[in-house]
Structure formats: C-alpha cells, structure tokens
C-alpha cells in the first residue's frame, strides 16, 4: 500500500487509525463498529441495520434534526452501510471541519437520542429499502445462495431483512437497547481517518471528546455454528480428491428462481470459502470464534482464482463470452468476511437454452483447474492485474477508505492488506490447485438459476 498509517489505542479500547494522503483540503472519516448481521440472533434480526439508520437521528447535545443540521452545515457528505460483520459510518468534509465532525460523531456514538418515532420511521424506511432491492436479480441470487449455504449461521440472513421478518422489532425497545449497549462500545469501534491530516492534533481531539465512553461488559456470545467450510479441517497443499464418503456428505444444491419472460437468465455457482478472522488481528470480544485452517496464502490464492479462473482474463470468459456467445458476462467474487462465506461465480447467460451448456463449461473449467496447474505466466499476469487494479482504486480519500473498510472493519487494521499482498507473491500454481481442490468441490456446489421458466433439464 502506497500510504503509511499510524495507530493510537485509547484507554477505553477505542482505536484511531490515521492515514495521511496527499489529496489536499479534504478528509474522510470511517467509523467502523464490529457489529453486523452476523451478531444478530432470531430475536434481534435486523437490529444492526436499524441502528445504523437511527444513529443519524440525534444525540444528547444535538437532539432531533439539530445533529443532522450541524453535520450538514460542515459541508460533509455522509452516509453509512451495514455489512454482515461490521457497520461503517462514513463522511467526507473540508479538513477545517474535522474537530466538529469528531465532536458530532462522539456525541451520537456515546449519547444517541433517537426517539420512539424516529425508531419506527426508520423501521418503515428499511421496508422501503428492501422493496427497492427486492427485484434486483443479483440480490435475489445472493439471498438464495445464503439460504443454501448457511442452514443456521447468521450469514443465512443479509443485513437487509424483508419487512415481514422485522415484525419482532416493533415492540422490543428494551431488547434494542440491550443490543445497542452490547455492541456499540469503544473497544469494538475504530475511527479511521484518511486525508489531509498534517499538523492537526487529531489524537488530542479524539481523547477530548471520546474518553468518557466506557467499555462494555464483556458479555460472552454463544459460539456460532458452521464457521468452517467443507474440507477445511484437512491439511493444505496436496489435498486428495474428496472421497466418495465426503461427496456423499456434501450434497450440491440447486435453486431455481422465477424471472420475467424476456429478461436474460443468470446462473450463479457458489462454494463455501474461508473467512478472514483468524488471519488478521483478532478484535476485542471476538476471540471465541472457531479458528479456520486457512492461511493468508489460501485467501490470496482464492483472490487470484477470481481472475484466473472466472474473470475477464480467464480462458472460460474467452470461451463463453467471446467464442461461443453463450454469456454476456462472467465474473466471480470472494467477499471479505470474518467467518467462512462464499466464493461465487456469476454468469449472465444470453438465452434460456444456453444455461445448461454454460453450467457444463463451468464445471469443465473447474475440473481443469483441479487437474492441471495454471502456467507461471498466467499467475504473474493475474498478480499484476490485482496489484494495479488495487492501486487504481486509491484515487481519493473516500475511495481509499471504502477500499480498506472491509479489512479494517473485519481485522481491525489496514495492515491486513499488506499481509495479503505479501501472500499473493507466495502463491504458486500448486497452491492455487490446492485451494480449488479444497474449496471448489463440484460435489459441494450451490447452484442458483434465475430464469423465466422452471428448469426443464436436470441439473448437471
């Protein structure tokens, strides 16, 4: 990473990360809290996202609209998002506004003062947020994949729950307060500042307005189920093919979602893949999670696989998109998560009758990756691709913050990105082959098809 950062930890456990850049005049703040839908249970489903909304609705010193008005008057552009593992509140503003922003942020985190009416208005706004996303093909596919992959781990549910699943929030303010008190604590919070910070006594300002925030009681959380992906208990590197008995345990799943006639079909194939949590610095209060057997090299290898195997530079892309005209686009994602999540391949298929040949080609490509190592040249070119693609994202404070938020939000430190890039350089064709065998087993694939008609042909 072309920027150095500085870290300060305060007595109450709050962490401050400073990443000075040479983009003049502006500063971005990402306030990252270790709470997401992963920390919810049946009785608290939807709270993480709801609190993200409610934290814009006033604080003790700035009640009601006055909090928002004070923020707006600084010239800040602010927003927030809730992920599975963390919640991010972000704003970008003129550097002169930094002391004021820190004061406002401190007040809403320590003394939130949203009213009953605000709480319910935001609950209704979330219903609308769900409505506008519910028709999106990718959102529907991801919902189906979560259901197939996680029978009981909280990753089964996205942070944005359908309104009908949020009825329990209607009358549960005391539960809401407990959830808030448990998760919105200094030791679970990181203030990540990026930008024109030179000569500003940021740590002093933070000390001044945030030091009264008390640590939470360390409530033990029940261990989460299913944090380990299939095969993760096996040693790495030279894995044998799954035995028949393994395969018997790992049933592929196949889900078909109905789509409007005339719209292009989608095919998604997902696999359980390792999480990050044990790789980076473990955040306070989270050390109870089951350790994964994966290593940074495995994470790096899976990242490389998104482009080597199933990206625009892959032979499969050449075949499906360029030569056979079966698909419009092919890409894959290995999202950062604390626990084991998904490695997913997405294909927008050109026509209904192309779905089966696309799935067949995809399985053949997987087989090829299992049986034949990629060439050193393919690996070098993919490594270059990832490095330069990453560097091109670092073009503003806001974009740097967004790019690093996953790493900071999950592992607590942007240093994780350096560990990952160091690991990229250690990935060999054999290691790549090993992660394919370990995690991308056809026997464990989760297939979701979005199409106009029910599947006529049997799943391959």
Partner 1 sequence: MSRRPVEEAKLHRPGSRAKDRRPSDRRPSDRRKGHENQLTLLALPNQSPLIHFRFIFRAGSALDLKGREGCAALCAAMLVRGGSALRSAGQLSEALFPLGAHITEQVDKEMTAISGSTHRDNLPHFYAILREMLLQPGWRQDDFLRLREELQNTLQQALLHNDEELARLVLQKEIFAGRPYAHPPLGTLKGLASLKLPDVQDFYRQHFNRAGLTLGLTGDLPEGFAQQVLQDFRALPEGRSASLVLRPPLRRLQNRVTLVPRDTEGVTISMGLPCNVTRGHRDFPALYLATQAFGAHRSSLGLLFQKLREQRGLTYGAYSYLEYFPRPMSQLAPEPNLVRQQQLFELWVRPVAWENCHFALRLAWRELRLLVEQGLSEDCFYITQQHLLGTIPQLVATNDQALGAAIDARFYGLPGHDYAEQLRRAVASLTRSAVNRAVARHLRADRLQVVLVGPRLDELRTRLLADAPSPILYDSPKPSFVLEEDKIVAGWNLSLEPNQVRIESVAELFA
Touching partner 1, residues 112-151 (CB under 8 A): 116-132, 134-137
Nearer to partner 1, 219 or 263 (CB): 263
Nearer to partner 1, 12 or 329 (CB): 329
What is the biggest distance separating any 2 CA atoms in the chain, rounded to whole angstroms? 67
Nearer to partner 1, 23 or 62 (CB): 23
CB of 319 to partner 1, least distance (A): 10
Question: CA-to-CA distance for 185 and 205, rounded, in angstroms?
Answer: 19
CB of 21 to partner 1, least distance (A): 9
CB of 330 to partner 1, least distance (A): 12
CB of 239 to partner 1, least distance (A): 29
**Window of 226-234, 243-251, 261-269, 430-438 that interacts with partner 1 by CB under 8 A:** 261-269
CB of 168 to partner 1, least distance (A): 13
Nearer to partner 1, 14 or 361 (CB): 361
Nearer to partner 1, 120 or 372 (CB): 120
Site for partner 1 in 334-373 (CB under 8 A): 348, 350
322 binds partner 1 (CB under 8 A): yes
425 binds partner 1 (CB under 8 A): no
CB of 374 to partner 1, least distance (A): 14
* Alpha-helical regions (H) of 150-201: 173-183
Going from the C-alpha of 376 to that of each of 301, 384, 387, 404, 429, the distances in angstroms are 13, 12, 17, 29, 7
Nearer to partner 1, 65 or 288 (CB): 65
Question: CA-to-CA distance for 332 and 453, rounded, in angstroms?
Answer: 25
Q: What are the beta bridge partners of residue 446?
A: 253, 270
Whether 28 and 81 have beta carbons less than 8 Å apart is answered as no
CB of 318 to partner 1, least distance (A): 5
Site for partner 1 in 81-100 (CB under 8 A): 92-94, 97
**Window of 31-39, 243-251, 321-329, 422-430 that interacts with partner 1 by CB under 8 A:** 321-329
CB of 130 to partner 1, least distance (A): 8
Provide the 10 A C-beta neighbour count for residue 163: 16
CB of 192 to partner 1, least distance (A): 17
Nearer to partner 1, 10 or 390 (CB): 390
Residue recorded with tokens 């079909």: 265
Question: CA-to-CA distance for 77 and 93, rounded, in angstroms?
Answer: 7
- Rg of the Cα atoms in the chain: 23
Question: CA-to-CA distance for 312 and 326, rounded, in angstroms?
Answer: 15
Cβ contacts of 71 within 8 Å, gap of 6 or more: 78, 91, 101, 104
Question: CA-to-CA distance for 277 and 239, rounded, in angstroms?
Answer: 23
Look up residue 352 and give its DSSP letter: G
Whether 347 and 315 have beta carbons less than 8 Å apart is answered as no
Going from the C-alpha of 36 to that of each of 88, 136, 215, the distances in angstroms are 10, 22, 19
Nearer to partner 1, 353 or 395 (CB): 395
Question: CA-to-CA distance for 425 and 420, rounded, in angstroms?
Answer: 9
Q: What are phi and psi of 69, to 5 degrees?
A: -60, -40
Which of 199, 244, 260, 457 is in the footprint of partner 1 by CB under 8 A? 260
CB of 365 to partner 1, least distance (A): 16
Q: What are the beta bridge partners of residue 29?
A: 91, 193
Going from the C-alpha of 112 to that of each of 58, 144, 179, 231, 404, the distances in angstroms are 6, 35, 14, 44, 27
CB of 257 to partner 1, least distance (A): 12
Which of 20, 216, 230, 264 is in the footprint of partner 1 by CB under 8 A? 264
Provide the 10 A C-beta neighbour count for residue 454: 8
Write each residue from 287 to 316 as x if it is in contact with partner 1 (CB under 8 A), else as -, in one continuous string.
--------------------x----xx---
Which of 1, 12, 63, 74 is in the footprint of partner 1 by CB under 8 A? 74
**Window of 74-82, 176-184, 366-374, 409-417 that interacts with partner 1 by CB under 8 A:** 74-82
Site for partner 1 in 153-212 (CB under 8 A): 170
Q: What are the beta bridge partners of residue 194?
A: 19, 28
Handedness of CA 112, 113, 117, 121 (dihedral sign): negative
Nearer to partner 1, 357 or 442 (CB): 357
**Window of 61-69, 214-222, 403-411, 430-438 that interacts with partner 1 by CB under 8 A:** 61-69
Site for partner 1 in 379-418 (CB under 8 A): 380-382, 384-392, 394-399
Write each residue from 11 to 30 as x if it is in contact with partner 1 (CB under 8 A), else as -, in one continuous string.
-----------xxxxx----
Site for partner 1 in 214-253 (CB under 8 A): none
375: exposed, middle or buried (C-beta count within 10 Å: 0-12, 13-18, 19+)?
exposed
CB of 206 to partner 1, least distance (A): 21
């Amino acid at each position: 990473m072309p920027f150095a950062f500085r870290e300060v930890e305060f007595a109450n456990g709050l962490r401050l990360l400073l990443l000075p850049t040479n983009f003049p005049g502006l500063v971005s703040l990402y306030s990252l809290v270790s709470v997401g839908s992963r920390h919810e249970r049946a009785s608290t489903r939807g709270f993480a996202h709801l609190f993200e909304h409610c934290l814009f609705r006033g604080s003790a010193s700035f009640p009601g609209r006055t909090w928002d008005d004070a923020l707006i008057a600084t010239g800040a552009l602010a927003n927030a998002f809730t992920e599975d593992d963390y919640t991010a509140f972000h704003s970008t503003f003129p550097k002169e506004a930094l002391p004021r922003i820190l004061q406002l942020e401190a007040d809403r985190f320590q003394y939130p003062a949203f009213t009953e009416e605000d709480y319910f208005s935001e609950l209704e706004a979330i219903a609308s947020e769900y409505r506008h996303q519910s028709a999106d093909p990718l959102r529907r596919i991801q919902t189906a994949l979560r259901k197939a992959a996680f029978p009981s781990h909280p990753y089964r549910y996205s942070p944005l729950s359908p309104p009908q699943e949020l009825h329990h929030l209607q009358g549960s303010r005391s539960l809401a307060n407990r959830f808030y008190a448990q998760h919105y604590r200094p030791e679970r919070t990181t203030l990540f500042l990026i930008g024109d910070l030179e000569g500003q006594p940021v740590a002093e300002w933070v000390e001044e307005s945030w030091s009264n925030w008390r640590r939470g009681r360390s409530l033990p959380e029940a261990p989460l189920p299913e944090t380990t992906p299939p095969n993760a208990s096996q040693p790495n590197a030279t894995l044998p093919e799954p035995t028949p008995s393994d395969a018997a345990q790992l049933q592929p799943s196949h889900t078909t979602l109905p789509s409007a006639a005339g719209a292009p079909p989608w095919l998604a194939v997902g696999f359980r893949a390792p999480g990050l949590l044990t790789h980076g610095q473990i955040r306070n209060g989270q050390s109870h999670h089951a350790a994964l057997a994966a290593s940074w090299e495995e994470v790096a290898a899976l990242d490389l696989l998104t482009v080597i195997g199933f990206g625009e530079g892959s032979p499969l892309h050449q075949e499906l998109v360029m030569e056979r005209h079966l698909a419009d686009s092919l890409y894959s994602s290995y999202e950062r998560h604390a626990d084991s999540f998904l490695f997913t391949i997405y294909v927008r298929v050109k026509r209904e009758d192309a779905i089966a040949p696309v799935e067949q080609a995809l399985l053949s490509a997987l087989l090829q990756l299992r049986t034949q190592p990629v060439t050193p040249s393919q690996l070098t070119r993919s490594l270059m691709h990832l490095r330069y693609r990453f560097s091109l994202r670092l073009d503003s404070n806001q974009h740097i913050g967004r790019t690093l938020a996953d790493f900071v939000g999950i592992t607590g430190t942007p240093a994780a990105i350096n560990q990952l890039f160091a690991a990229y350089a250690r990935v060999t064709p054999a290691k790549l082959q090993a992660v394919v065998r370990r995690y991308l087993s056809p026997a464990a694939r989760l297939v979701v098809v979005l199409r106009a008609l029910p599947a006529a042909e049997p799943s391959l």
